[in-house]
């Protein structure tokens, strides 16, 4: 069973439309849609926005559905000049940029008393996703790099600079690392797939509104193709 988490309604609505034999399970204010997508057993769910929602959602996928892989799809702000609106970022790894125990001497982003704070995307899933991108969105830039997550919509160039310089982030969003941390704690391979909706700077809010739909279209196309490739 494959778990597919989107943060927002728009992201999961198109996936749900493509599913057959759907049954619904409700928990924690979330609707878990279990059924077939491209002939594969999946659970598609909207987590809601932010890290807490993402982590709770991941844990329910582990406990209730025993998912064997988790995909987190959605949109993100670019942290690099060469990553354009509409491009796709696949998570080489991910961390929480707003985890801050620097007062105790920990580096920014490090979770005290955990053996790691950087969660690695599954290499098999990354390779499969790259192949799918070449097939279904061949004209779009695909980047494999670090996804930095926090409970913040980043729309300011100083913050963006800090995220790039401190963490070498490729894109920023609000759930991925929390979903990944829960996946890691439950020994479930994961991949974050984010289509870029904005540049995470002073233009972010305007371009987010303009490009959100296009970005979602790209990630949905990719996830639909990827589901067929994964075992």
Catalytic residues: 11, 198
Q: Is 49 exposed, middle or buried, given 0-12, 13-18 or 19+ CB atoms closer than 10 A?
A: middle
Q: Say whether residue 193 binds ligand ADE (CB under 6 A).
A: no
State the residue for tokens 């950087």: 118
Q: Which is nearer to ligand ADE, 188 or 195 (CB)?
A: 195
Shortest distance (Å) from residue 228 CB to ligand ADE: 27
Shortest distance (Å) from residue 36 CB to ligand ADE: 29
Of 166, 119, 168, whose CA–CA distance to 143 is shortest? 168
Q: Which is nearer to ligand ADE, 193 or 200 (CB)?
A: 200
Shortest distance (Å) from residue 2 CB to ligand ADE: 23
Q: Contacting ligand ADE (CB under 6 A), which of 91, 172, 181, 219?
A: 172
Do residues 64 and 32 lie in contact, with contact meaning Cβ atoms separated by under 8 Å? yes
Centre a 10 Å sphere on the Cβ of residue 130 and count the other Cβ atoms it contains. Answer: 14
C-alpha 61/C-alpha 41 separation (Å) is 13
Q: Which is nearer to ligand ADE, 2 or 142 (CB)?
A: 142
Q: Say whether residue 77 binds ligand ADE (CB under 6 A).
A: yes
Query: Count of residues for the chain?
Result: 231
209's tokens:
């509104």
Centre a 10 Å sphere on the Cβ of residue 122 and count the other Cβ atoms it contains. Answer: 19
Q: What residues from 24 to 63 belong to the interface with ligand ADE (CB under 6 A)?
A: none
Stretch near ligand ADE under the rule CB under 6 A, chosen from 21-29, 87-95, 121-129, 169-177: 169-177
Q: Which residues bind ligand ADE (CB under 6 A)?
A: 75-77, 153-155, 172-174, 197-198, 200, 204, 208
């Amino acid at each position: 069973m494959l778990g597919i988490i989107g943060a927002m309604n728009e992201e999961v609505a198109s996936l749900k439309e493509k599913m057959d034999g759907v049954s619904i399970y409700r928990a924690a204010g979330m609707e878990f849609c279990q059924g077939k997508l491209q002939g594969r057993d999946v659970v598609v769910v909207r987590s809601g926005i932010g890290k807490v929602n993402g982590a709770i959602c991941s844990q329910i996928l582990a406990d209730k559905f025993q998912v064997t892989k988790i995909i987190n799809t959605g949109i993100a702000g670019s942290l690099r000049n060469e990553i354009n609106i509409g491009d796709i970022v696949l998570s080489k790894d991910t961390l929480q940029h707003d985890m801050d125990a620097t007062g105790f001497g920990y580096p920014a982003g490090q979770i005290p008393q955990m053996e790691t704070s950087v969660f690695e995307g599954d290499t098999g899933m990354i390779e499969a996703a790259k192949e799918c991108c070449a097939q279904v969105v061949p004209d779009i830039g695909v980047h494999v790099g670090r996804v930095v997550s926090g409970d913040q919509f980043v729309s300011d160039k100083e913050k963006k600079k800090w995220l790039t310089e401190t963490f070498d982030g490729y894109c920023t969003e609000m759930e991925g690392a929390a979903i990944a941390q829960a996946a890691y704690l439950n020994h479930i391979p994961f991949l974050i797939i984010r289509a870029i909706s904005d540049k995470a700077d002073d233009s972010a809010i305007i371009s987010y509104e303009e490009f959100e739909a296009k970005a979602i279209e790209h990630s949905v196309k990719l996830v639909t193709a990827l589901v067929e490739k994964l075992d």
